Amino acid sequence: MRNYVGLGCTFHDPAFAIVDSKGTIVFAEGTERHQQTKRAFQCAPDDMSRLNELLSTYGEAGAEIVFAKSWSSQFESIQPGLLETYDAILANAPGAIDPSFDALLRAMGIDIRSVDSDGARYLANGYRWILGSNRPAIQVAGSNLRYRLREGMPGFQGAIVQRAYNHHLTHAATACYTSPFDEAVCAVIDGLGEGTSNTFYRYRDGRLTLLADSATRRGFGSLGLFYGHLCWACGFDPSRGEEWKVMGLAAYGKLNAQIYELLHSMLEHDTLALAWPADYAEKMSQLLTLRRRPKSSPLEAADLAFTGQQVFGEYFKALLDDLYELGESDNLVLGGGCALNSAWNGRILEETRFSSLHVFSAPADDGNAIGAALLAYHEDHPPTKAPASHQTPYLGSSVSSETLDLAVTLGGLLDALPPGQSVAEFTAGLLAAGKIVGWVQGRAEFGPRALGNRSILADPRDPKMKDWINARVKFREEFRPFAPSILHEHGPEYFQNYQEAPYMERTLVFRPEVRSRVPAVVHVDGTGRLQTVKREHNPRFHALICAFHELTGVPILLNTSFNVMGKPIIHSVEDALAVFFTSGLDALVIDDKVFLKESS
């Protein structure tokens, strides 16, 4: 009997997952949650302090442990020479560069004869940082787990098996094995994989088959890095994952023909491939001159954000059109960081010929912990068919009931839930009265979106609610929108071309006639990044929205992640209380306990 531990070991967003002996995902969580450090840069996914707890709680006693990494050993081997090459570029010593890397650098838009240009140095510095950070992260991943097991972790056998898989293959495994499809095609599109940023797979009978990647087609061209550069030019920080802000800001802008010409020329499309143009570094120098001024209003970059989002969608569509032309399937599965672009995801079924789309709750590098574990499982148990079922995103930790009891008995907190009234009914009444509620239930969601278990909730009918939460609760920019969580059966009533979106993975257009009912969750362009809620997927959250619907006639709640800007989603009772008492939250609901501030 074997259990399979997946280690998402990219230097940013590391994660840990466990698959049991039957192939079931029993646990998955990003390292940032427990450590409460945004994106957990350079942190080991196998946190030494938690290994015993996680394996004893979610693993099977007596099992051997197989652990798998989300990058292959081949990728590690090319990095030393590249790192030396980038050091030579940044030291302005092109004569010291190994000629064997010249073609690779040119494919990435860096001409060693132009190292003095702003664009070339910006690119070289960025790629040097990525590779220099990623190599030690990959190497250290698993060392804590190996030590614990060799030390003799109670309940687990001493045999340890280590595996490593291609980075894009782990993306594809996460995407496809969590999908409801028996067969599909999969597009993995991200910032940087192993020699490519665009890879395509056939998914059939539970097996993944490589169809193509940009490396074998034409060269290296990255939509993910393109969007990161756009994020930086808009005045945000892609290293902090602020691409979200570009999507939100784009709705305030319009197409700028001059910017469009520049941005569109920064990529070249060929069949199933993207490439940087020969003068990419020069184009980057031009983009750097457009960067929003420090401390200026983000709205100054709205046209840049809108135009960049337009270019992103056009190139993404071109790749998907190529993929459909292969005639493999009408079902599309997306993986990789670019699959977090919910604004584009909501347009895919309208703008391409695919009929169905699946994007899991964690399509980026944290999700690869699941992909690595499942690849290891299927290596030992070759699949004969696809699982074809809804994959719950509620795979993380629960809060401690003991700590919650201590907060009540020793912290002086009073449970405000009246005897005989359900948590859903009472909380719905608070929300309908305009209160802002922190909502903590069951196991945490895996991935960056709050899906009703670690959420801040509010009444979407109040047009002032969006500004109030941004200013007094989340402490973030006023242009940032909030998500509507809607009862699935009411989706067509509120959205044009309604699509089910259980993971809050796509943005759709509200019907014009309903926008005035829920102004707090309608973005300036009339859209909303929705979460569709079904009873069978989340009974408690479904019951809450139903109770709110009965009181107000509105089957929607404003839903945003339970955190403040710059911090991960809360992980513990202590985290929840810290946000509650240092922000404008009116109420905190943890399991069956309700806490109110005196002013509430």
Q: How is 279-293 classified by DSSP, letter by letter? A: THHHHHHHHHTTPPP
d(CA 170, CA 155): 29
Sheet strands side by side (includes 15-19): 25-30, 15-19, 2-8, 64-69, 160-164
The per-residue pLDDT for 116 is 64
Asked, for residue 212, whether it belongs to a domain, the answer is: no
The answer to whether residues 355 and 373 belong to one domain is no
The answer to whether residues 489 and 528 belong to one domain is yes
Asked, for residue 204, whether it belongs to a domain, the answer is: no
pLDDT tens track for 247-257: 999 999 999 99
Q: Residue 600 pLDDT > 60, yes or no?
A: no
The answer to whether residues 480 and 368 belong to one domain is no
327 pLDDT tier (thresholds 50, 70, 90): very high
30 by DSSP, 3-state: which?
strand
d(CA 173, CA 332): 14
Asked, for residue 364, whether it belongs to a domain, the answer is: yes
Q: Residue 293 pLDDT > 80, yes or no?
A: yes
For residue 180, which of 342, 4, 371, 333 has the smallest C-alpha distance?
A: 333
The answer to whether residues 92 and 74 belong to one domain is yes
Asked, for residue 217, whether it belongs to a domain, the answer is: no
Q: Residue 332 pLDDT > 90, yes or no?
A: yes
CATH label of the domain that carries residue 421: 3.90.870.20
Question: Could you give the number of structural domains in the chain?
Answer: 3
pLDDT tens track for 167-188: 999 999 999 999 999 999 999 9
The answer to whether residues 270 and 328 belong to one domain is yes
The per-residue pLDDT for 520 is 98
The per-residue pLDDT for 95 is 66
Task: Write down the mean pLDDT value for the chain.
Answer: 93
The answer to whether residues 413 and 555 belong to one domain is yes
The answer to whether residues 553 and 505 belong to one domain is yes
For residue 161, which of 324, 356, 380 has the smallest C-alpha distance?
A: 380
Asked, for residue 55, whether it belongs to a domain, the answer is: yes
CATH label of the domain that carries residue 261: 3.30.420.40
d(CA 539, CA 546): 10
Q: How are the residues of the chain apportioned to helix, strand and coil, as percentages rounded to the nearest 5?
A: 45, 20, 40
Percentage of residues in the chain with pLDDT exceeding 70?
94
Residues in Cβ contact with 419 at an 8 Å cutoff, skipping those fewer than 6 apart = none
d(CA 301, CA 286): 15
The per-residue pLDDT for 579 is 97
The answer to whether residues 462 and 416 belong to one domain is yes
The per-residue pLDDT for 140 is 93
266 pLDDT tier (thresholds 50, 70, 90): very high
Q: Please give the residue range of the domain that contains residue 260.
A: 223-359
Asked, for residue 169, whether it belongs to a domain, the answer is: yes
The answer to whether residues 469 and 584 belong to one domain is yes
Asked, for residue 207, whether it belongs to a domain, the answer is: no
Give the range among 218-222, 455-459, 509-513, 517-521 with minimum mean pLDDT.
218-222
135 pLDDT tier (thresholds 50, 70, 90): confident
Average pLDDT over residues 513-538: 98
CATH label of the domain that carries residue 154: 3.30.420
479 pLDDT tier (thresholds 50, 70, 90): very high
Average pLDDT over residues 483-504: 98
Asked, for residue 12, whether it belongs to a domain, the answer is: yes
d(CA 274, CA 49): 43
The answer to whether residues 114 and 233 belong to one domain is no
Q: Residue 18 pLDDT > 70, yes or no?
A: yes
The answer to whether residues 309 and 275 belong to one domain is yes
pTM (predicted TM-score): 0.96
The answer to whether residues 380 and 438 belong to one domain is no
114 pLDDT tier (thresholds 50, 70, 90): low
d(CA 49, CA 53): 8
